[in-house]
Chains A and B, each alone.
Chain A
Amino acid sequence: MTILETGTIAAGSLLTVAGLTVEEVAAILAATDRLERMAAAERAKILAGRRIALLFYESSTRTRTSFELAAKSLGAMTTLVSDKSSSIEKGESLKDTGLTLRALGAECIVLRHANSGAPYLLAKTTGLPVLNAGDGMHEHPSQALLDLRTMLARLPGMSGRLVNAKTLEGVTVVITGDILHSRVARSNAMLLPRLGARVVLCGPPGLLPDDALGLGLDSKGGIEIERDFDKALKQAGSGGKAVVMMLRIQRERLAGLELDLEEYISRYQLDEERLMARAPEALVMHPGPMIRGLEIAGEVADGPNSAIEDQVRHGLGVRMALLVRALGAGGFESVTV
């Protein structure tokens, strides 16, 4: 029996943004709005008594807390399993850990894992809905959805717009930094062009290979590469609504890559002078964790253009919607992967 025969991916799973239709994205964001407006007591009944396992093989603060608080605010019971204090440490396989959680009554698993693709394995072998909370260098779909929601909330003229294939027309999103290792960049680069955004990827070749163009929608892409950050910012700033998404340099994944940090900072750091000179209206985003003084200057992170805290806040609502969808509650019964 092959892996593919052992099980299919349960409806309500979210493993990649590529598996979402624009209509599903709209439904998730509409549910986010509904859930956020709901009274806390009413919200706490939606998943009352349901069991959600948070399986975290990598350390995480905001994503784990965000999913946990989202689950609890919906009334669900949660259990956190991490690789440091469980049978995983003793060498138990991901499949067997998943089957154990299923046997204990878990109805949904939120998985953070250092290996790309791990959520597919877990979903196929357990048959449970699995939410990808970040897998290796692959994807972070809930982050892309919360980033989208932040853009819709903060960009001028976006509030209340219906989400469809043209929602982000006229918006340029410059994603800058360690794109090679960034699951956030992949998910955003695959999601945002489908809503009409122009996505410009920026970084040195070592951190941004030309292969990234393959994330585009078709041969024309929807994705561009611009090595010069100043040019990318200027284009974005003069072309309409602009978003600058900065990424952390993932030093832990840089094996074999030689990077001159001083040069990197001079060419790619988003500081106040650079921002004000080239894209003064741009919305500044960062998925965190930030390294102030490296990819982003502290005054920009804390400045008026920054939407970084908004991103974290929106994460809670989006993850509530994803959990409701995963467990087939609240009008999400029919949606699929």
Chain B
Amino acid sequence: MSDVLILNGRLVDPASGVDGERDLLLRHGRVAAVEMPGVLRAVKGKEIGKEIIDAKGMIVAPGLVDVHVHLREPGQTYKESIKTGTAAAAAGGFTSVVAMPNTLPVNDSVEKLEWMLDASRGACVKLFAMPAATFGSLGEEITDYHELQRVGAVGFTDDGKPVLHDRVMRAALVAAAGIGVPVSQHAEDTRLTGGCSMNAGPVAFRLGLRGMTVEAESKIVERDIRLLRDIEQHDGLRPHLHVQHVSTAKAMEAIRQARRAGLHVTCEVAPHHFTLTDEAIGEYDTNAKMNPPLRNDADRMAMIAGLMDGTVDCIATDHAPHALFEKEQEFERAPNGITGLETALGLALRVLHKGNGMPISRVIELMSAQPAGIVSLEGRGTLKVDSFADVVIFDPAAEWSFAAAKSLSKSRNTPFDGAPMLGRVMATICEGVIVYRG
């Protein structure tokens, strides 16, 4: 592994409070030095850095962390594989991704988790996983959290489905609290969403599609918060609930209140939920079909407000690749989900930074330090000396259009084909290895 010397960049590392010109030396997969301009240039002459990157005009930031991706392996490699999905992650500036368990078969055992995390799968960025919260993600019986954590689980989720029964969710929160990891909840009361394929409202009415109400999301969030409070009061534990892909103002407000009450609730918002509304479905474009669905503009603005005021802990893509033939179906029959790893930074900078005045350092924090903290990735999400040499270098001023045809993902299901982006990734470095060059 060669040394990498990154010179002349604006280093933005929210975890260490750095935002200014710094040079960076990566050695043996770790951050070896962070110095003011000029200091490392001296050692450059001594040829310690075989790879020298001139980052003039660029931002040098901790590699991005995504706590919510679907890599489709095992079982659905026609959509994506760990190799292609992590290549797409690298192209988007991500150096750590957390794979969801709704693969075929469901990742609910030590053997499956070990198989997924094995180096022979070909991940080019650091792969983590959340195994299923319940066996088969059937919502009936929780998996072996202790054993799964021993081989690398960073949390538990039945993503794609909620843990619906109060008793089972309570057991999951208690078991996860015992080992200090979160339960990530897909907040959807599926008893209220049968046959629904988009957000409830005037657009759904006009299109003749059954709509998911905002209450279908908020009721589960509120139920989970009640469980947290109950467990804290009666079990002497402090469980960590992570609410996935929040999409409604009502759920966001419930989370805000729970945090004010001191409960350990974190949450994520996906770029599509702060960028688009249900109008994006247009003429039944299945590339705008996802779950939770695109909501109305008031909900979209509530996601932005939550990101701005700190209620939202991180941005997560919910990268969900599907093959063209699957999306090329009747809207109600097409699967939910869009790809997102290569558009997340560009959308966040465009909508949050340029559109709503969020400082770039805060965008980076929401995509690196904070998600790393949610799943306790020690030494990641920061560029402090001795942390992992996970770095993204991007041009914050570059305006460009995303071309789905050039995606490194196997799938092209995105509503952002041709959409304007701000900020282009020039290089992604994972544990000192350059895994992407723009």
Contact = CB atoms under 8 A, between A and B. Distances in A.
> Are A and B a genuine interacting pair, yes or no?
yes
B328 interface: yes
Contact of B286 (A3, A113, A135, A183): A3
Given A1-B324, A136-B208, A256-B194, A117 B331 contact: yes
Contact of A186 (B195, B208, B210, B325): B208
A138 B283 CA distance: 11
A215 B204 CA distance: 11
Given A1-B324, A94-B330, A115-B333, A138 B208 contact: yes
A4 to B, nearest CB: 7
Given A2-B287, A115-B330, A211 B205 contact: yes
B287 A3 contact: yes
A121 B207 contact: no
B404 A183 contact: no
A139 B208 CA distance: 8
A3 B327 contact: yes
B206 A3 contact: no
Given A1-B324, A2-B412, A214-B202, A135 B208 contact: yes
B222 interface: no
A201 B148 CA distance: 57
B293 to A, nearest CB: 15
Nearest to B191: A256
A215 B287 contact: no
B329 interface: yes
A116 B209 contact: yes
Contacts of A215: 205-206
Given A120-B284, A209-B205, A215-B205, A95 B194 contact: no
B400 to A, nearest CB: 18
Interface string B415-428: 00100000000000
A120 B283 contact: yes
Interface string B203-245: 1111111100000000000000000000000000000000000
A95 B331 CA distance: 13
Interface of B is mostly: loop
A116 B206 CA distance: 10
Interface residues of A, number: 33
B201 interface: yes
Contact size range, B = 20 to 34
Interface in A78-126: 93-95, 113, 115-118, 120-121, 125
A94 B194 CA distance: 23
Contacts of B19: none
B259 to A, nearest CB: 32
A27 interface: no
Listed residue (B208, B331, B333, B414) with the most chain A CB atoms within 10 angstroms of its CB: B208
B202 A116 contact: no
Interface in A199-218: 209, 211-215
Given A2-B417, A93-B325, A186-B208, A211 B202 contact: yes
A6 B287 CA distance: 13
A39 interface: no
A93 B325 CA distance: 9
Given A2-B412, A94-B330, A117-B207, 6 more contacts: A2-B413, A95-B328, A136-B332, A214-B202, A214-B205, A215-B205
17 contacts: A2-B413, A3-B328, A95-B325, A116-B284, A117-B207, A118-B330, A120-B283, A121-B328, A121-B330, A121-B331, A136-B209, A180-B205, A209-B205, A211-B200, A214-B202, A214-B203, A256-B194
